[in-house]
Amino acid sequence: MALALGPRIFGEDEPVIMAIVNRTPDSFFDRGATFTDEAAFAAADRAVAEGAAILDIGGVKAGPGEEVDTAEELRRIVPFVAELRKRHPDTVISVDTWRHEVGEAVCAVGADLLNDAWGGVDPLLAEVAGRHGVGIVCTHAGGAEPRTRPHRVAYQDVMADILERTVALAERAVALGVPRDAVLIDPGHDFGKNTRHSLEATRRLPEMTATGWPVLVSLSNKDFVGETLDKPVGERLLGTLATTAVSAWLGAQVYRVHQVAETRQVLDMVASIRGTRPPAVARRGLA
C-alpha cells in the first residue's frame, strides 16, 4: 500500500526521510541551534536539498526541562509552519505534538501530518487529524506521560505491547476519518523503554511491518544508541546509521533524523542491495 501524505505519495518500497527541525532552545541534540526563525528556515531548506521528503517541526523538548505551556508551543510552531508551507509547497510538513489544540492550529495553516510521539495521551489529537483529513503517527510510549523518562519500566513482551497499542491507535484513527494510507506506526525507541527494550524492538521490526501499517522509526542519536556503545550525544552518528541500516533491511519505511545526507546514503545503499534501487552509476566491468 502506498503512503499518501499531503502533496506526496510514496511507494511501499520507497524509504522516506523525515528531517527534525526543533523550535526549542533546549533540544537534547542541537541545543537550540534552530530556535530562531532564520536558523530554522535554513535547516529546513538544507534538509530538503539533502533529500528529506518530510519536515518534522517540534516546539517542545521530548525530555524533562522547562515547562512549555500550550500558548508557548503555539507561538513557537504555528507562524513557522504557515511560512514553511509557502516556502516548501511540495514537501510534507509534520508537527511533533501531543496536544490537540496545537494540532488544530497547525492543520489550519497547512500541516500534513501530526506526529503523536506520546502514544495518544490526548485522544482528541486523532480526532483533529480525522477532521482535517491529515496523517498521523501512532507511537508506542508504554503509557508514559509526556516529557518523562522511563523508571524501572518492564514488559512481559515489549513487542506484543507495541503492537497492541500502536495498531489500536491506528485503527481508531481510521475510524475517526484519518485516511488509511496516511497512518503510520512507530515503536517509540526510548519512549517508555530501557535500552534493551529498544534493541529488541529494532530486531523485531518485521512483526510491525507484518501488520500492513507503514513503520516509522525515530532512532537519531537516541539514548539507547548512546548506552549500547557508551557514547555521548555528539558521538552517536555511527551507531544511529548502523541501526538505520538494520531497520531498513527489516522493513521500516520512514526515518526521523537529524543528519539527512548521511541517512540518505545509508538508505540508498540498503535499497540497492535489496534490489529496489539501481546503482547511481554502473561502469565497473562494463567497458
> How remote is the C-alpha of 22 from its chain's centroid?
13
Q: Which three cell numbers stand for residue 128?
A: 483533529
- The number of residues making up the chain comes to 287
* Inter-axis angle of helices 237-249 and 195-203, nearest 10: 40
Contact 78, 53 (CB under 8 A): no
Distances (CA, A) of 268 to 15, 219, 248, 264: 8, 17, 10, 6
Q: What span, in angstroms and rounded, lies between the C-alpha atoms of 73 and 93?
A: 17
Q: What is the DSSP letter of 281?
A: -
Q: What span, in angstroms and rounded, lies between the C-alpha atoms of 73 and 66?
A: 12
Q: What span, in angstroms and rounded, lies between the C-alpha atoms of 74 and 143?
A: 25
Contacts of 264 (CB under 8 A, 6+ apart): 17, 50, 51
The residues annotated as belonging to the active site are 222, 256
Distances (CA, A) of 170 to 162, 177, 212, 230, 267: 12, 11, 11, 35, 26
Q: What span, in angstroms and rounded, lies between the C-alpha atoms of 176 and 280?
A: 42
